[in-house]
Amino acid sequence: MVRGQPGTAQEGAEDAADFVFIPVTDAQGDDRNQRGTHWSLLLLDRRNRNSPIAYHYDSAGDYNAAAAERVARGVGARVIRMGMAQQQNNYDCGVFLLEAARTLIGQLTRGQPPRDLDNLVADRRVLQARLRS
What range defines the domain where residue 76 resides? 2-29+38-132
Q: Over its length of 133 residues, how does the chain's per-residue pLDDT go in tens digits?
A: 445 544 444 444 567 899 999 999 988 777 666 678 899 999 999 999 999 999 999 999 999 999 999 999 999 999 999 999 999 999 999 999 999 999 999 999 999 999 999 999 888 888 888 878 8
Comparing CA positions, the residue from 49, 70, 67 lying closest to residue 58 is 67
Give the residues across from 67 on adjacent strands.
none
pTM score, whole prediction: 0.82
The span from the CA of 60 to the CA of 116, in Å, is 14
User: What local confidence, expressed as pLDDT, does residue 40 receive?
Assistant: 97
User: What local confidence, expressed as pLDDT, does residue 26 receive?
Assistant: 87
Q: How many domains does the chain have?
A: 1
CATH of the domain at 76: 3.40.395.10
